[in-house]
Structure 1
Amino acid sequence: MASKYDQLLIVVSILEGRQFPKSQRHTLIVQAKFDGEQLATDPVEHKEQPQFCTELAWELDRRTLHQHRLQRTPIKLQCFAVDTTTNAKECVGYIILDLRSVQEVQQAPKWYPLLSSKYTKLKPAILLSMVIENDTKQTPEQFKAKKAPPRQGSPVLSALGSGKLEAVLNEDEGYHQIGPAEQCTDMFVLSITVAFATRLEQLIPSKTKLSNEGSEFFFYYTLLGNDVTSEPFQNLITPNFEPERASVRVRSNDRLLRLFFSQQSSLQVHLCCGNQSLGSAQISLAGLARSSVDLGKEQATIEGAFVLEPPKIAKQNLPPVPLDLQPTVGVSVTLRKENVNAQVTFINIQGGDGPKTPVKKSPAPPVQPVSPTAEPRLPSPSPGGKSLVEPLKSPTPSSNQPHSESEAESLPDDARKTQPAPGDLPLPGPADGPAENEPVAPVSSVSVSAPKIAIPASAHHYCFSMDLRSIRDLALSFPVNCILRYAYQFFGSAAPIMTNPAVEIKKNTEVFLPQSYCAFDFAALPNQLQDTFLRVPLVVEMWHRDPSSRDVLLGTVSIQLSHLLTAEKTRFLGSSGQQHWRQTYSERLPVVKAQGSNEKVAELCYVTVLEDLGLVKAQDILVSESSQSGKQVQPKAAGSPRQHRGTGSGLAEPRETLEYRAALELEMWKEMQEDLFDNQLKQKELSHMQALAEEWRRRDREREALVKKKEMEYNLLEEQLQKTLADLEKREKALAHAEMETQRLQREMRAEHEFSVRELQDASRRLREDCAHQVELERSKVRQLEEDLVRQQQQIQEAENKYKQLEKEFQQYREQQNTRPEIRLQSEINLLTLEKVELERKLESTTKSKLHYKQQWGRALKELARFKQREQENAMIRLKKQQQELEHMRLRYLAAEEKEAVKTEKHQLEDIRNELNRLKQQEDKRSAREPEFAALNESADDHLSRLLEERDTLLRTGVYTHEDRIISELNKQIQEAMAHRGSH
């Protein structure tokens, strides 16, 4: 049986890796674990880019996948490095895959880094892809019992010179031939009868549910290539079905038949429910080939109760069954020579348009109405059923069509007059038990020589008739040779009913159909009739008969017979004066195309009549072989009416003698009637008591079988319950131990957590205090540096003020020198020129040293800015001891640099002060000399160029801008120098 849920595959493709270290002594494997199942790749080289190229797959159904997604079940992949010499495995990392992200559409592969990787510097990763695929693997076909579908005829079998005899079907003559035609001189009949079954409930476990296709059970076997099923039954404990015999004609001879059956395998009889086999019995046919049986005089028989074995898969779920409780089926297989004088009827089983296989139905089957819920089974309804469910034949010999017993012919409207009265039909009653003169056969012996036909006592005798009156409103563009055809197996005949002959229908005309009336007499329960009419419609097919080609199906019309049940009932009297009921319904329905569309082809007018002829009388009828030819065996009446009085010569006796004899006969008749009435009452009482006793014994056996089966099941369940209780106690102890261990681990984890929290709080507090202390130290150093800077700025300002005072004094001196004569100045020019050269040399050396200082100072400022930025970034990242140490080192380094810069500035200022003092002394010495005017003028130009160079050098360092104070002072001095130069 197919699975209820779709089978799926979760496929994980492990393609390649990257950034793995190279190792000669190791190999790499990837193990994937999901739902308790672990899969692994093949070992690959441990190199930088290992190539795995492996797919790992897990099987599950769609419902299980949904449960895993709800529970967020992961797929864990672990990468192992395996030592090639010691085979030791070491986990180098793992990957967790989320099952909820897997789709049924192929996705592009993604790189997944290894978590908790052993190679922390390289950060290795693996290229993976996941997809969900449908599992399309082929499952082995299980046994599937056919519910007797129509066959296209048995295949023609031949030996083909292989030395093995085969049965070859002769369709025209209606028999199977075994052996060469020149040696086949005799006709034989092979019959198989399924008579009874016992203890079938042992084949079904209590927990097993039956097939969804239905709860009907039947027996199935194959007879020379023909699939045969028994009548369905509902109850396994008391299987209520009548013995049914299926027969085929075989043309061969005695020797070939014995050889054929010695080569045949066993006959398998299956108990089926829907398309599921619940058990099968093996019946060896070798017994038919015994040489001790003369087939010309007697029949070869294999009969007995055969054990039904469950299938191997189901046998595992069933408890062992004792020998006296094993399920059995009673089967009888007979082979006899056909009696030439016997009249045998063959039912032609039609399977579509294929060949017809002759399968004879013996008198054994029960006469039950065909269930409308069951599919057509092979063979067709039994001949016993034809006595109740038989279309009435037309008595007129005008029809040229060949007649067969499985095909109902059409009747003209006046054919109803020639029908036998419903009361004259030989309606058999239920077989309550064996006949009085018939011995009861044992269980292991199957006798079907004089079977009985059973009809429920509450069944009614019905007569259903249908008249397909006319066709009109043809929607086709061409004339149609119309034939109407329908079949309704509930009436007892599987053969289709067809109108005859074909009538031509044209557009916009209404044509009345000849010989379209047909009536069916059958017996059924009222509720069964109502249920069938409500659920199963009668489908009428409209065919076009073309003489040059095959018939074409034009359309169908579905007639709901349930309307007939709601029609008004009218009374009428039968032939014997009984009161019966009749219901009539007529309607016009559209004929729609057969291809599934609702396009109208024509319109059909029909009339249906249902007559309820009352209850069927309970009778037991013995059906002989001759009844198969359509002649019904009339049951003998229980008591025949007395003959009428004799000739008129008896009336001439004396009056006294006549009165005396009349009174005597009356008294004797009264006594006889009383005795007959008493005997009838005693017989009825005895039969009722026997029936009650038999029913009581039957029900007692059923209860005993049920009790034994339930007792066995309860013992097994008790053992399972004890095992389960023991397992539960073990699990409970293990769970209590695990719970105590979990509580202990929780306490330890809680204590470790509290200790870690306290340590973190102490470390954080110490770190805050250290940081606050370091910040305070740095702030004090910054304040000290700011004070030094202010003091240096004041010193520079005092030096500038002194310089301005000297410039004013020099200006006054130059004005005084302008009033002296030129001759005296000329004499001093030469001396001043020499001094000038020397001063220029000294000034040049001083300027170079000062420029070098400025460059060093600019680089120091740049380096200072870089260190500041770097230390700020490091201060944000590092929060622990390394940050503290680096910050401390940076601060010490900055302090040393600043001290060095301050010392350099002090030395520079000292040099400037010394230079100014020296210049002042020189100016004092040259105050009396007039040629100093030109030298001082040149020194003013040098001073201006020096100021410009200093300003540009400071701006190029990037530390100072035009808004800084020192740049503003330099700009101010440059402007004053330029103004002073322009004034002279």
Structure 2
Amino acid sequence: MAAKSDQLLIVVSILEGRHFPKSPRLSLVVQASFDGEQLSTDPVEHREQPQFSTELAWELDRRMLHQHRLQRTPIKLQCFAVDSVSQRRENVGYIVLDLRSVQEAKQEPRWFPLLSSKYTKQRPALLLSMQLENDTKPSEPSPDRFRAKKAPPRQGSPSVADLLPDRLEAVLVPDQGYHQLGPADRCADMFVLSVTVAFATKLEQLIPSTMKLSAQGSGFFFYYSLLGNDITSEPFHNLLSPDFEPERASVRIRSSKQVLQGFLSQQPSLQIHLCCGNHSLGSTDVSLSALSAVAVDLEDKAATVEGAFVLQPPKRTKQKLPAVPAELQPTVGVAVTLRREEVPPQSVGNKEVSGAPSHSVPPPAAQQRPGSSSPVQKPPDSPPAAAAAAPRPPPLSSHTESEAESLLEELQRAGDQVELAAADPEVLEVPAAPPRPPEAEGGASSVSVSAPKVSIPPSAHHYCFSLDLRSLRNLGLTHPVAATLRYSYQFFGSAAPIMTNPPVELQRNTEVSLPQSYCAFDFAALPQQLQDTFTRFPLVVEVWHRDSSSRDQLIGRASVQLSRLLSSERTRFLGSAGEPSWRRTHRDRIPVVHSQRAGEAVAELSYVATLEDLGLVKAAEVVVSESSQSEPPAHPQPPPPPHPAAPRPAADARPAAPRDTLEYRTALELELWKEEQEDLFDDQLRRKESSHMQALAEEWRRRDREREALVKKKEVEYNLLEEQLQKTLSDLEKREKQLAEAELETQRLQRELRAEHELTQRELQESSRRLRQDCDHRVALERDKARLAEEERGRLLQQIADGESRYRQLEKEFQLYREQQSARPELRLQSEVNLLALEKVELERKLESTTKSKLHYKQQWGRALKELARFKQREQENAMNRLKKQQEELEAMRLRYLATEEKEAARQERQELDGIRNQLNRLKQQEGQLGPAPSADDSAPGPSLNESADEHLSRLLEERDALLRTGVYTHQDRIIAELSRQIQDAMTDRRTP
């Protein structure tokens, strides 16, 4: 067993970046992906030179590294800008690193520019370095590392997990020919793990368009590794119909059921590769998890994983094309079986126990499948004949197993179902594969490979299809045509085209018959397969114009719908051996459609198609043996025995004629024998020549089929690319329409904005004009007002001057009057007394009215205060607690303001009373100066002053009590304190004499 590969680490160092625009809201993250595993850096600030300083590493062994380098697996770095608020990620650009440039030696960092960057004005780049490092850590997986290929999770009960070590290994015991798995004292049961590759379909889809098959001379084969043993299948050369010997590779394992199930749960999937030389064209993974299921009882039956698995091309050849349909996907039929080893036969047991490699593969031979036949050219008057291949008897020395036979039958049925689902019309002959070279002696292995016989489905029918192309007419071209018809239908077993010869000249308004246009095909197929193929694939007949002076030109194509043949009337007839058979015949005229202008008919073709069902195929199975590898030589027939000698004539008889003598007859027989031997030798040479020509024709057909398969594959790829191009063109047309609509919408919006701008401009001009007129009008009004004010000022100044002059004149008159009054004092005093009495009466009346109005005001104020108190009380019950204090303060401020106004009014009234009192006192003094007054009037001022003081005191008391009764004020309020102080001052003044 080969030694294990060293564990390696692929380390990618992301150091820093440059030429990034500064964006405070965003952060940069670099995400690296390799072999399906993704690693990311921590977010860094989005600035001109972001500092990442991060290392990303993947763990794998040298074998996986070599495989990834062969497949050119890339390391893709994607840079994202992450929004810190919405966490939305936007792709900035990407970098693709080549794994083949990674070396174990340390390399200097390099600047890699971002591809498809969104920052077009700048060229952002990242400083990167790659290196291979030896992984010196234990084999246990680290939680913070990723592996290139991670094993599937272990399955089984906890008890099995407790018995298993961390890593199980199968150790080969060379002398016993098996692998030991687990402790030898606890694991003593013998198991057989078998892998069978049975069939494959649609392998031509894996061939790259750039690959030349002729350069690969080693053929195609399947490769997989079973417990460290590299297994390769027999090489084959035909990808269109891969006909190879189903091989079973078996390995014997000495273990226990629990340990073996745990070991299988740790193993990755079984990878099967289709190889050509040293290149892997495709691979598939067969999961071994079903073999490790606890529910499978290996005591009674075997655990099996089988089916048709899809082959995936390597990553380096994958193209960005739409998904391939299911019927075109390449598949391989694989069966993996795990069973307990029973007591084998002696011969088989000796092969499995021996340490040398034991291969029980018979030599490869040409094998005829049920659908293989060659087209047979027949004249129109010859009836079709059935051709059936006689099976060869199995050799006595071929090693076959009953279990292999049953498994092969199941896989053959699965392969037939896959082919039937894919409706593959290609049933071709496969040339013999070269024998596989024997392995080098001395290598210890426990793998045994066996090739069971191939069974043919007993339900296959022998069919004979004949097509007679009768005539051409109604030429739609202006020039005559030298018409030759060509067609091929690979379902009949041949890819070689069938052509009519010689060309016939077809002119307008004429009808010509086609010479040598009858062809019959003998083949074997399932009825359902025949019906599906005839329904899905028409037979296309090409009409060519052959000219000696120029190249052949394709005129048109006609499609023969073979499904109409299946719906035609069926007639019964007896075959060549007397067995009942059925025949269907269909006649029709179909148009020949122009090759370049679809839908235009250039001619009309008349044909007759016949299908004969000759019953079931006699050959039930074909066994490949050594005798089928080469054709036995033809033994020369011995010469015929000489005729008995004639009796010698009597003496008296006449002498015999020269030609009647025995020597002449012997010589004649000798010459005849020589001619016969020459004819036999010529016949043998002709047979050898025909066999060689047939081999060359088969090789030519095989290469032609391969070329046609590649052409078909390229056509499929070109059709897919054409669909993509059409889709892209339609998208571009839609986008162009959208851009045109958007341009029209933009122009409409521009016109609307321009009209709106002009309207706004006019409105602004109109408003500015109105404002200017309004301003001018206001200026004129202000000027008029100023002029009127100047006139009023002059008038008032004139009035002041007139008043001053009148005042001076009155002053002079008053001086004159005083002088005159001084001359008559009685009259003057009497008049003054009367005037003062009138003024006193007037003043008392004013005082009384003022007192009444004051009292009425107080009453109204009291009622207003009471009403306000009630209103405030109602509002306080409905108002919120937080507004109560503010409302109270507002109400208090308002009442204080009213009290202040009242106080100011009272003060003004007091000042008026004081002025009246001073005036009365002044008048009294003047009266006193004029003369003595009556004695009764001397005591009058005293009681008057006392009465006014009492009245003032009573008024203050009444105001304070009225305010307190409202409930709005308290003794601590400012207005109540002010009233109390005034009351105290009034009482103090009252006590003072």
Q: Fold-level match, TM-score > 0.5?
A: no
Calculate the TM-score normalised by the size of structure 2. 0.31
